[in-house]
């Protein structure tokens, strides 16, 4: 009965149950259960991400604890760089293992322990010491996340058919958005002390990561070859040998504006981020709920087209934001959350499109290397671009937003040269 129910849910969600010939026969038989395990573990992990968001939640927490601008300013760079940059060097270790689900499960478990440590530090420390300890724990969390990221796409490609991978990740993103929406509504309602709510959210995030680890550990994964990836810096040769990979990384790098722009939108608010914390969290979560599953389904048909559409949408929203800023309309209450909503729809299109395109573009022996190289380069781009745009913002925030818009439009143009990997 359980197996029949699993298959029925799988049929309803995917609407596409044809066997993928690229999957081994045992993986084809186990796919319904594997698909639902991906959805369950990713949903729990993504809810945890939303509850402990460094851009809003942890920034508010460190401000509340009096940690100072230095430690608060380190949150986003530490989180983003720590999650991306190490992958080029951790991937060779992952690809030597025949069963790789333990890397994702272990990484999720460490994220849960780190989040619990952040909650404890917030309860027992204050001032700069609280900032130092929380940023340090966030660095550990980010490193653990990098292991999850470096291993996940390879596991997804081994356990879920090509035409259903975007659906799995998109469904999980939409399901997770419901949890974050509830959190945002509670923040906006004024029920309870906000510090207590944030502490509770971080502890809940810790539990969800541990739960995700336990679910993922039950994945039925077929053994892999042990020599699938080159070591460390040698993987940069892929940029010369695989022009489609190089083009994909350029497109993805230009689309980082959809991730970097939100703090600059907040700068345009007279009352800053914290006056509308709940509204901003709600706008982001609702955008994810409404768009992630749709973007995932579209990605299974053409991830190239999704990257184009997301680039055009992001460019249009950011260009409109420049006009609103220059005309003074951006200062009207509620305008920034609405613009953030539109931008986050584009952002989730970028996330779904890039993930599905990379998995479907790479063969089984290349997925881990493609993922690690792409993430490492994009991590470097985020660091350099983040610093550069921050310097430009000292002169003009609308100019920075305009540059992000131009990058998105450029990405849409360059993406026309990507292959239709779903039909190869």
Task: Provide the pLDDT for residue 231.
Answer: 56
- The two structure tokens encoding residue 268: 């345009």
Instruction: Pick the most confident of 62-66, 170-174, 216-220.
Output: 216-220
| Residue of 347 and 170 predicted with greater confidence | 347
* Residue 337, CA distances (Å) to 109, 321, 331 in order: 33, 11, 11
Cβ within 8 Å of residue 260, ≥6 positions away? 382, 385, 386, 389, 404
Q: Which residue has the higher pLDDT, 217 or 389?
A: 217
For residues 221-245, average pLDDT? 72
pLDDT at 273 over 50: no
Residue 242 has pLDDT above 80, yes or no: yes
- Residue 260 has φ and ψ, to the nearest 5°, of -85, -20
Q: CA-to-CA distance for 185 and 277, rounded, in angstroms? A: 10
The CA–CA distances, whole Å, from 385 to 253, 313, 394 equal: 10, 21, 14
Q: Indicate if the pLDDT at residue 251 is higher than 90.
A: yes
136 pLDDT band, cuts 50/70/90, is: very high
Residue 342 has pLDDT above 90, yes or no: yes
1 — pLDDT class (breaks 50, 70, 90): very low
pLDDT per position as a tens digit, 361-415: 887 777 777 887 888 888 888 878 877 887 887 788 899 899 999 999 999 999 9
As for how many domains the chain has, the answer is 1
Tell me the C-alpha distance between 284 and 51, whole Å: 12
DSSP string, 10-58: HHHHHS-----TTS-HHHHHHHHHHHHHHHHHHHHHHHHHHHT-IIIII
- Residue 134, pLDDT above cutoff 80: yes
Give domain status of residue 24, yes or no.
no
Q: What residue has token string 């029920």?
A: 191
136 in a domain, yes or no?
yes
Q: For the segment 76-93, what is each residue's pLDDT rounded down to a tens digit? A: 778 877 888 887 778 778
Q: What is the pLDDT of residues 44-68, one digit of tens each?
A: 999 999 899 887 788 788 878 888 7
49 to 97, 115, 145, 201, 340: CA distances (angstroms): 27, 10, 10, 10, 18
Give the pLDDT of residue 116. 97
Q: Which of 21, 80, 24 is nearest to 49 (CA)?
A: 80
Structural domain includes residue 10: no
Structural domain boundaries enclosing 262: 29-423
Has residue 415 been placed in a domain? yes
The rounded distance, in Å, linking the Cα atoms of 387 and 407 is 16
* Residue 16, in any domain of the structure: no
Q: Is residue 12 assigned to a domain?
A: no
Average pLDDT rounded to a whole number, residues 218-229: 70
SS3 of residue 285 by DSSP: helix
For the chain, the average pLDDT equals 84
- How deeply is 364 buried, as exposed, middle or buried, from its count of CB atoms within 10 A (0-12, 13-18, 19+)? middle
Q: What is the pLDDT of residues 107-117, one digit of tens each?
A: 999 999 999 99
φ and ψ at residue 271, rounded to 5 degrees: -100, 5
**Cα–Cα distance measured from residue 180 to residue 281, given in angstroms and rounded to the nearest whole number:** 8
Domain assignment of residue 110, yes or no = yes
CATH of residue 227's domain is: 1.20.1250.20
Q: What percent of the chain has pLDDT over 70?
A: 89
Query: Do the domain assignments include residue 112?
Result: yes
Q: Which residue has the higher pLDDT, 335 or 27?
A: 335
Give the Cα separation of 128 and 138 in Å (integer): 15
């Amino acid at each position: 009965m359980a197996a029949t129910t699993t298959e029925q849910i799988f049929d309803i969600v995917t609407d596409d149950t044809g066997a993928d010939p690229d999957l081994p026969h045992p993986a084809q038989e186990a796919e319904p259960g594997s698909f639902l395990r991906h959805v369950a573990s990713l949903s729990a992990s993504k809810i945890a991400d939303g509850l402990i968001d460094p851009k809003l939640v942890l920034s508010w927490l460190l401000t509340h604890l009096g940690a100072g601008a230095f430690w608060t300013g380190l949150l986003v760079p530490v989180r983003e760089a720590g999650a991306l940059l190490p992958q080029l060097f951790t991937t060779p270790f992952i690809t030597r293992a025949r069963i790789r689900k333990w890397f994702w499960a272990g990484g999720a478990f460490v994220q849960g322990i780190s989040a619990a440590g952040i909650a404890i530090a917030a309860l027992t420390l204050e001032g700069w010491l609280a900032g130092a300890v929380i940023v340090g724990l966030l660095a550990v969390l980010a490193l653990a996340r990098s292991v999850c990221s470096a291993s996940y796409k390879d596991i997804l490609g081994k356990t879920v058919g090509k035409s259903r991978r975007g659906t799995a990740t998109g469904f999980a993103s939409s399901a997770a958005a419901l949890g974050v929406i509830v959190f945002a509504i509670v923040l906006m309602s004024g029920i309870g002390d906000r510090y207590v709510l944030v502490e509770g959210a971080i502890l809940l995030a810790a539990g969800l990561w541990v739960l995700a680890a336990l679910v993922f550990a039950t994945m039925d994964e077929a053994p892999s070859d042990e020599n699938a990836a080159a070591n460390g810096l040698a993987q940069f040769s892929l940029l010369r040998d695989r022009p489609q990979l190089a083009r994909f990384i350029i497109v993805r790098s230009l689309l980082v504006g959809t991730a970097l722009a939100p703090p600059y939108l907040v700068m345009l608010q007279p009352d800053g981020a914290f006056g509308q914390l709940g509204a901003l969290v709600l706008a982001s979560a609702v955008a994810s709920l409404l768009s992630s599953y749709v973007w995932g389904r579209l990605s299974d048909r053409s991830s190239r087209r999704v990257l184009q559409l997301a680039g055009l949408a992001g460019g249009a929203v950011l260009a409109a934001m420049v006009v609103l800023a220059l005309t003074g309309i951006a200062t009207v209450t509620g305008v920034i959350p609405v613009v953030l909503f539109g931008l986050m729809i584009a952002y989730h299109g970028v996330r779904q499109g890039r993930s599905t395109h990379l998995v479907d573009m790479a063969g089984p022996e290349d997925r881990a290397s493609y993922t690690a190289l792409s993430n490492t380069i994009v991590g470097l781009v985020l660091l350099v671009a983040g610093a550069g745009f921050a310097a430009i913002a000292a002169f003009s925030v609308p100019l920075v937003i305009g540059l992000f818009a131009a990058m998105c439009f450029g990405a849409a143009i360059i993406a026309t040269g990507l292959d239709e990997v779903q039909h190869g």
